[in-house]
Amino acid sequence: MKRTWILIAVAASVSLGALGAAAQGPQGSGAAEAAQSSNGPHIINPIKWAKKEPHTETASLDANSNLNVKLTSKLQTQGLLPPNADLKETCSTIKELSDCVAALHAGRNLGMDFNCIKSKLSGVQTSLMTASSCASTTDGKPVSLSKAIHSLKPDADSKAEAKKAEAQSHEDFSEAGSGT
Q: Indicate the number of domains in the chain.
A: 1
Which domain range does residue 163 map to? 61-175
Angle between the 158-175 and 145-152 helix axes, to the nearest 10 degrees? 130
Residue 175 pLDDT class (50, 70, 90 cuts): confident
For residue 117, is pLDDT > 60? yes
- Judge whether 104 lies within some domain: yes
pLDDT, mean of residues 100-120: 93
Residue from 78, 87, 83, 72 nearest 109 by CA: 78
- Judge whether 14 lies within some domain: no
- Judge whether 11 lies within some domain: no
For residue 50, is pLDDT > 70? no
- Judge whether 161 lies within some domain: yes
pLDDT, mean of residues 61-85: 82
pLDDT, mean of residues 1-30: 63
- Judge whether 65 lies within some domain: yes
pLDDT tens across 147-162, in order?
Answer: 999 989 999 999 999 9
